[in-house]
Structure 1
Amino acid sequence: MTFDIGAFLDAYAMKPGLLALGEPTHGEPAFPQLRNDLFEALVERGFRSIALESDRVAGLTADTYVRGADVSLDGAFSHGLGELPSTRDLMVFMRDYNAAHPGDRLTFYGFDGPYEMTTAPSPRPYLKYAHDFLKHGQARWAQIDTLLGPDDRWADTAALMDYRRSIGRTPQADRLREIADEMMASLAEAGDTAERHRARINLATAIDLLRYHALAAEPLPQAARTSRLLAERDATMARNLMAIRRRESDRGPTLLFAHNRHIQRNPSKWTLAGMDLEWPSAGAAVSEHLADRYVVILGSLGASPTLDIPPAPPNTIEDQLPYGLSSATNAPTATPRPATPGYFPLDAETLNHADAVLHINTGLTPATVATLIRSHPDVDELIASIDNGAPEGAWGDRFFYVGPDRRQPFATIVEHDVPGFDEDSLLDRPGVFRLNVELGRTEFERRFGFPPKEFDKHRAEYDFARADRLMPHPGYALYGWASIVSPGPQLLDEIDALVTHARARAAERHARSLRRPPAPPRD
């Protein structure tokens, strides 16, 4: 991790109830990887839950999984989170921790609704879940079903852009809101059980959806209407976060991870398609309730090769921020970065309302790691392809050598599995790659505590698909090789040290080969 979270938290007289870590854009792998590292460190300091920008109802399935149940994670996340390797790593950590600490378990939460700016589904499944729990009878459901009508009318994406297409303010929708409120009153009398809790979350989601659709039906100018929809989504987030804190208050603090625009204390702003949008963030509402027990760490990014975000221009805030964690009060008073598609630059107002900034200079890709390796003296890179006679299974793999003979690489970068041989790292996942480095016996044992020849005895100790961790190579550990799946920028110094060591060994091998007498000519 790039900072000492303990020292940061110790500066507060009272432990935060909700620690918010933001990211300035979705899709840069470094931020969720750092989130995982941070959460593991926070668990050691008493944190017992994490809340992600994902559908709250879907999150119930993810929490069931981390509690040890044999359930599929398909559909357990929204907004694309389920496809991220970092999400898988988080689930594995929480499930393993809970198995080892059955009386002190970690809890996973989603705190978002099942909608975005351009999509909002029918409330049907959420109403049905609550109805079935309350056992209100078939006649009552028939009434609700009739009022709902076809689901595709609710899910019509055009309705969120054109109020005339929305059915959110029809008499049927109004009656559904009344029924949902009546059901919530009934749930309040149903006792406090796990199933009641699940039913309340489903019903609250239905009510949120009905409210969202009603706002979509308001005959307002597009900018005002869009701002109100954005505000409603953040208001839903805030309500969910406060419900999470009420539930977790006796167990420990919660780590919140979301886009900066949702966690910041000041109003959010966005210029989109010629519209100047502004709305109160979820963080603003939560801050009113939690005051000093709500702590905000904004995410900042210099460059992202993954997202094609170039380095920050000179003399901008992101250009002058130091790498790692720093106090927001010490942030540079520089020019805001020009807007980049998909990236929300930091500005003075947002920084003034934050507690700290976590800045990452650049995300890492195979190409950026290769550039680092090539920066070492006398390093030659070979990218396997049909042109250099490499087998098809190796195409795209990168091999790094010292010396022109290319007899033995000291490091490689691979982006795919080898069926039947090297599949433990799950490299066929989108965006995943692995750096492999030859350490030799002595350094291997120093790093891992056992010699390469004993690897098979320790194999079960490693999750070879875990990102951002140095571990023995799943296929070549017996020969002194180590590997890192999708390393993050916090490992740059470690990578440089590993490459320095491996390259020095390769250089010595090459020097020895030059000192050998030439082989005698054959007759």
Structure 2
Amino acid sequence: MATDIKDGVHPVEATALMGLLPARPRLLALGEPTHGEDTLLDLRNELFRRLVEEEGYRTIAIESDCVAALVVDDYVTAGTGTLDEVMERGFSHGFGASAANRELVRWMRAYNVRADNDGRPASERIRFAGFDGPLEITGAASPRQALTALHGYLAARVDADLLPCTGQTLDRLLGPDERWTDPAAMTAPSRSVGQSAEAGRLRLLADDLVALLDAETPHLIAAASRDDWDRARLYGRTATGLLRYHHWMADTSPSRMTRLCALRDSMMAHNLLAVAERGPALVHAHNSHLQRDKSSMQMWQGPVEWWSAGALVSARLGEEYAFVATALGTIRHRGVDTPPPDTVEGLLYALPEDRCVVDVSRLAAVLGDVLPAPRVTPWFGYAPLDPVRLTGSDGIVFVKDVPRS
């Protein structure tokens, strides 16, 4: 059967991906089935370079802390800081330790500087973005950084009488950051401060600050720059999102974890929509965050299901959002061996190519009414393709073997 899909198999190139799509997307989302494998990140880097040079893409957005990522963007666009500092401070989830991520940042800075060292015009510079919130599976950050940065931006540019509070008031209500970052709060809602009187007051103040930012938009853009205003909007989204997340961390209902997972992907979606406003971008994250279907996960309190960021963004952008899933054959150092031949991965593993782009419509036509078996993995960190959701993507990037990084 593998030979039957040969007409739908192409080299892993930007032109091949674009050829699968009905229109040029503003957001081209490339998923991955596991984190931490530089082979997949090297492939992502190569595709991004091609998209920049051949298709005019100007931003890459990855599944990393949106506020920390500003450190990376400042480095690649303006040379602020050093590469070592950026890799240490500009990534979440441990992604700064990746050699492939380091190479991405190095190449982006070199591209923006150009060989003559004059630097590219602002309109031609490539940008870096994180689109995850300041969240980990073990907890959430304090809203202090985002909230005080938003307040400071407004305080420097609007009349003091328009501000809903002073910086000192925010500091008093926030209290020590350790109150917000207690890891025990993820499994013990009573340890969360998210529904305290102070947190409730902060949610109202954050809402007022975001409303003021919106109301003063013409003045703020004229007084500084659109980039500064965009950054303030990011601070506003993050502050309100974190306060909402902390509020529901204190919830004791059975829907607590479903709501928290949904809130995280909602924050991701709003960050992606803001990235899309800047022009075409490559998005890279786990398949589960970028797919057009609901996501699901087995957690300590049982299964949870929620709408993914990709589903939310796709509903807003339509054909201007494209999703290409990555599938793989083996990760032998993780115990993931040759896939059974009756799975999607097994069918693709029989192809001669080490990596390829697969036309999903052609693959679906070859399969017909015969649904492949779901692949079962011995390692929790890898999520195989769901055969039921096969046609929910615009294409598949297949990598036959993933060696140890």
TM-score of the two chains, using structure 2 as the length reference: 0.84
The amino acid of 1:29's aligned partner reads: D
Q: Deviations over 1:413-448 (max 9, x none)?
A: xxxxxxxxxxxxxxxxxx4xxxxxxxxxxxxxxxxx
Task: Please state whether the residue corresponding to 1:127 is helix, strand or coil.
Answer: helix
Task: Please state whether the residue corresponding to 1:285 is helix, strand or coil.
Answer: helix
Deviates more, 1:162-171 or 1:54-63: 162-171
Cα distance, 1:92 vs structure 2: 1.5
Check whether the contact 2:147–2:235 (CA below 8 A) recurs between aligned residues: yes
1:350 matched residue in structure 2: 389
Q: Per the alignment, do residues 130 and 205 of structure 1 end up closer, same or farther by CA in structure 2, a change over 3 Å counting?
A: same
Q: 1:15 aligns with which of 9, 24, 27?
A: 24
1:186 matched residue in structure 2: 212
Matched, 1:63 2:73: yes
The amino acid of 1:52's aligned partner reads: I
1:214 matched residue in structure 2: 247
Cα distance, 1:309 vs structure 2: 2.5
Q: 2:15 aligns with which of 1, 6, 13?
A: 6
1:243 matched residue in structure 2: 274
Seq. identity, %: 40
State the distance in 2 between where 1:67 and 1:109 align. Answer: 12
Cα distance, 1:306 vs structure 2: 4.0
Check whether the contact 1:266–1:349 (CA below 8 A) recurs between aligned residues: no
1:84 matched residue in structure 2: 98
Q: Per the alignment, do residues 228 and 363 of structure 1 end up closer, same or farther by CA in structure 2, a change over 3 Å counting?
A: same
State the distance in 2 between where 1:116 and 1:227 align. Answer: 15
Q: 1:144 aligns with which of 146, 170, 195?
A: 170
Matched, 1:295 2:322: yes
The amino acid of 1:238's aligned partner reads: A
Task: Please state whether the residue corresponding to 1:299 is helix, strand or coil.
Answer: strand
State the distance in 2 between where 1:159 and 1:13 align. Answer: 45
Matched, 1:335 2:373: yes
State the distance in 2 between where 1:120 and 1:346 align. Answer: 29
More relative contact order, 1 or 2 (CA 8 Å, 6+ apart): 2
State the distance in 1 between where 2:207 and 2:138 align. Answer: 26
State the distance in 1 between where 2:212 and 2:301 align. Answer: 46
Deviates more, 1:153-162 or 1:277-286: 153-162
Cα distance, 1:314 vs structure 2: 3.7
Q: 1:125 aligns with which of 145, 159, 164?
A: 145
Check whether the contact 1:51–1:108 (CA below 8 A) recurs between aligned residues: yes
Check whether the contact 1:21–1:257 (CA below 8 A) recurs between aligned residues: yes
Check whether the contact 1:302–1:360 (CA below 8 A) recurs between aligned residues: yes
Give runs of ≥4 in structure 1 deviating > 4 Å.
Answer: 136-139
2:58 matched residue in structure 1: 48
Task: Please state whether the residue corresponding to 2:194 is helix, strand or coil.
Answer: coil
Q: Per the alignment, do residues 134 and 5 of structure 1 end up closer, same or farther by CA in structure 2, a change over 3 Å counting?
A: closer
The amino acid of 1:147's aligned partner reads: L
The amino acid of 2:103's aligned partner reads: D
Deviates more, 1:205-214 or 1:148-157: 148-157
The amino acid of 1:324's aligned partner reads: C
- Paired residues for 1:299-448 under 5 Å: 299-321=326-348, 322=351, 323-329=355-361, 330=363, 333-339=371-377, 340-365=379-404, 431=405
Task: Please state whether the residue corresponding to 1:191 is helix, strand or coil.
Answer: helix
State the distance in 2 between where 1:148 and 1:208 align. Answer: 15
CA RMSD of aligned residues (A): 2.0
Q: 1:271 aligns with which of 288, 298, 307?
A: 298
State the distance in 2 between where 1:139 and 1:55 align. Answer: 27
State the distance in 1 between where 2:96 and 2:325 align. Answer: 23
Cα distance, 1:139 vs structure 2: 7.4
Q: Per the alignment, do residues 139 and 270 of structure 1 end up closer, same or farther by CA in structure 2, a change over 3 Å counting?
A: closer
Cα distance, 1:50 vs structure 2: 0.7
Check whether the contact 1:5–1:41 (CA below 8 A) recurs between aligned residues: yes
Task: Please state whether the residue corresponding to 2:139 is helix, strand or coil.
Answer: coil
Cα distance, 1:12 vs structure 2: 3.6
State the distance in 1 between where 2:297 and 2:356 align. Answer: 26
Q: Per the alignment, do residues 210 and 336 of structure 1 end up closer, same or farther by CA in structure 2, a change over 3 Å counting?
A: same
State the distance in 2 between where 1:10 and 1:219 align. Answer: 48
Q: 1:94 aligns with which of 87, 108, 113?
A: 108
The amino acid of 2:245's aligned partner reads: Y
Cα distance, 1:11 vs structure 2: 4.5
Cα distance, 1:54 vs structure 2: 0.7
The amino acid of 2:257's aligned partner reads: T
Task: Please state whether the residue corresponding to 2:67 is helix, strand or coil.
Answer: helix
TM-score of the two chains, using structure 1 as the length reference: 0.66
2:46 matched residue in structure 1: 37
State the distance in 2 between where 1:319 and 1:13 align. Answer: 28
The amino acid of 2:33's aligned partner reads: P
State the distance in 2 between where 1:62 and 1:166 align. Answer: 31
Task: Please state whether the residue corresponding to 1:52 is helix, strand or coil.
Answer: strand
The amino acid of 1:345's aligned partner reads: P
Check whether the contact 1:28–1:306 (CA below 8 A) recurs between aligned residues: no
Cα distance, 1:274 vs structure 2: 6.2
Higher helix fraction (1 or 2)? 2
